[in-house]
């Protein structure tokens, strides 16, 4: 993640506290007027790191590569699906990767090849929405359709219903012709 543009504002009214907020692409760090240059540098570095950690939690796909996406899918399978798998282990995909934006879906799974492809449009969604899409595609490794067995497995991810609503709103708001399901038109 690249370093943001930083503006430091010193305030005579500020005595001990440090503040930071995002204004567009700029990080504004507010510090006491009495702070030394060394303290300013330390606080700016700390606020940049804090902002980047926060952004990574909120939008985990933004900087994630294919390896991080695959690791996330593996963790989701372990946490939500392994108990439903044969011998206590859900099948793992052979590959999980980002692909250029798809026209009619958020993601897709090819069970015969064991691959999952996720639209780069999802790089900007909150982590829990990306997690739902990955769980949805992981379920397709065993259940090709969207019948009752599929729905029961998909529901093992507790925020699925909420994520589906988020994706519907995102699709409508952006004027996309993408269905409510991650892999349906």
Question: Given CA atoms 9, 23, 124, 121 in this order, what sign does their dihedral have?
Answer: negative
Location of structure tokens 């026209």: 103
pLDDT of 155 > 60? The answer is: yes
The pLDDT of residue 50 is 86
Give the span between the Cα atoms of 40 and 30, in whole angstroms.
Answer: 9
From first CA to last CA, the distance across the chain in angstroms is 33
The pLDDT tens digits of the residues spanning 57-115 come to 666 666 678 999 999 999 999 999 999 998 899 999 999 999 999 888 999 999 999 99
Q: How confident is the model at residue 185 (pLDDT cuts 50, 70, 90)?
A: very low
The pLDDT of residue 21 is 87
List, in sequence order, the alpha helices (H) in 140-159. Answer: 148-154
Q: What angle, rounded to 10 degrees, do the helices at 127-139 and 66-76 form?
A: 70
pLDDT of 142 > 80? The answer is: yes
The pLDDT tens digits of the residues spanning 15-59 come to 889 989 888 778 899 999 999 999 999 999 998 888 877 776 666
Q: Can you give the C-alpha Rg of the chain in angstroms?
A: 21
pLDDT of 183 > 60? The answer is: no
Average pLDDT, the chain: 89
Cβ pair 92, 112 in contact under 8 A: no
Cβ pair 27, 48 in contact under 8 A: yes
- Three-class SS state of 161: helix
Query: What DSSP designation does 77 have?
Result: I
Give the span between the Cα atoms of 179 and 105, in whole angstroms.
Answer: 7
Cβ pair 134, 118 in contact under 8 A: yes
Location of structure tokens 């067995």: 149
Q: What is the pTM of this model?
A: 0.69
Q: Beta 26-32 vs 95-99: how paired, if at all?
A: unpaired
The pLDDT of residue 69 is 92
Q: Beta partners for 20? A: 29
């Amino acid at each position: 993640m690249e370093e943001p543009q930083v503006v430091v504002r010193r305030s005579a009214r500020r005595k001990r506290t440090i503040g930071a907020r995002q204004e567009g692409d700029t990080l504004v760090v507010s510090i006491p007027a009495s702070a030394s240059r060394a303290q300013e540098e330390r606080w700016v570095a700390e606020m940049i790191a804090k902002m980047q950690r926060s952004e990574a939690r909120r939008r985990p796909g933004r900087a994630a590569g294919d390896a991080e996406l695959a690791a996330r899918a593996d963790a989701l399978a372990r946490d939500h699906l392994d108990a439903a798998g044969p011998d206590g282990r859900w099948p793992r995909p052979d590959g999980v990767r980002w692909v250029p934006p798809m026209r009619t879906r958020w993601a897709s799974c090819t069970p015969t090849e064991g691959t999952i492809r996720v639209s780069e449009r999802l790089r900007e969604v909150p982590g829990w929405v990306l997690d739902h899409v990955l769980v949805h595609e992981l379920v397709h490794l065993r259940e090709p359709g969207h019948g009752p067995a599929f729905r029961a497995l998909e529901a093992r991810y507790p925020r699925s219903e909420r994520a589906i609503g988020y994706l519907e709103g995102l699709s409508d708001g952006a004027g996309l012709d993408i269905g409510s399901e991650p892999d349906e038109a």
